[in-house]
Structure 1
């Protein structure tokens, strides 16, 4: 974390969990509602009946067919599904390797899940879009002459909030200053490098190449020098090119959503962009005068397991005047 002189003073900091997106969308057709963790697998199972796009039903069938655990697929939460699938796959590969020969890898399984999650969340719509816009206009719009001192930290992948903010601000101002506006349009560097929206687990509209994404989980980090001057990327996977694309890509394409699935051990500190985002999250917490926590309940597991809980436990209380939940 940087020195106090280099940190942004925050007036109001919103911390949003999955319940926030669910609340923004609930009360309408199920396909328009952002699913909670426990609802993901049932929604994926329902996708098997879709006729278009064809890849969705095919990927949904693969994910259920290749599920290794004995608990019914549709009643399993997404985080539990991934944790158990990886554990079971690694156990079988160790004691009975022939059973995994010729079968798809756990990385290929996660690739299907990532794309299906992106597809489901891309369909989510706010129940009252005008109300969402009024809230964001009041607290996050700002102007060049009077920049807002409010910020949002979110653990969600969806773009319900992003789509409104991107009508007013550049992607570099909303997310981070080295994200490209498209796969061909390079970013304009900003003097003010304090993102409005910190998406700590990535976003369904962020893209990187499939090759770069695979490295995040499968290869050792060889970087021995930091590639940036504003934060430390030493011993990190550094993704050279990240861009915005609101179209949902398929598992067969050469690009993939840049999201970190709910793995047992999320590699957030070994990936440069996520180390950057989590560092800023700590800074915002340290400097915030008012904190609003919405749609998030603290998990029952020990702090060492939950990075989200660790984040909330570690910040200084000296600047905080009020906390709303």
Structure 2
């Protein structure tokens, strides 16, 4: 479990993180979302003791990161995959990490295989693609088989196969009861991976809820109706107090209702309908709706 309590970080007059509090619970993939400059990376760095908070604290299973013994065995993190010295070979880099954290050397080959890097184990990191760097960073995070995992933009550079692999990996770890906290700009991927969301803007907490609740609270579902008689159908719907708007493809969108009620109205008024379906908003739409005013393009 990760507990963030009143966390703040200020650089001069700039407040990067502002009195942030939330809990990341085990058994779930928790997505960490926010616009560029919202303070996500700063927050994750403070979780790992890489930045000192101006106020507040972060506890990982009841202790600050700096107080953990053998930290790789308790927390696995991927923040910057390209931080590895280019002259090192993949196998040697992981072996060095294992030795400094009392991790059996045999574990190195296990995580290389898990990350799909067995064939590149003796290659120098300087020749790695971005996707291979990400896989090596993930291998390092998993080296100690830790119960807590923190990933910042982990799908960067991964091909579609790699993205699916990582998605299933994170879900599998959560199912085992581990704490999985992942930051990403890819809303479609978060919608398929995360069960819970922590959303921040300008360093402040905007939402701490399930994915389903977040979408429901920040968007409206509607019924899309394609008809050659839009004027008649619009009149019938508005007469029942149903809000109607036009969709980009020329259909009608009936808000605050369902397909059963719309179907009954269509039958009662004898309106020809070619297509009718309930539509739910996406995580991306909900995110833009909530965070639009918190975007700072100059940062």
Same fold (TM over 0.5): no
Say which one has the larger Rg: 2
- Normalising to structure 2: TM-score of the pair? 0.28
Structure with the largest fraction of strand? 2
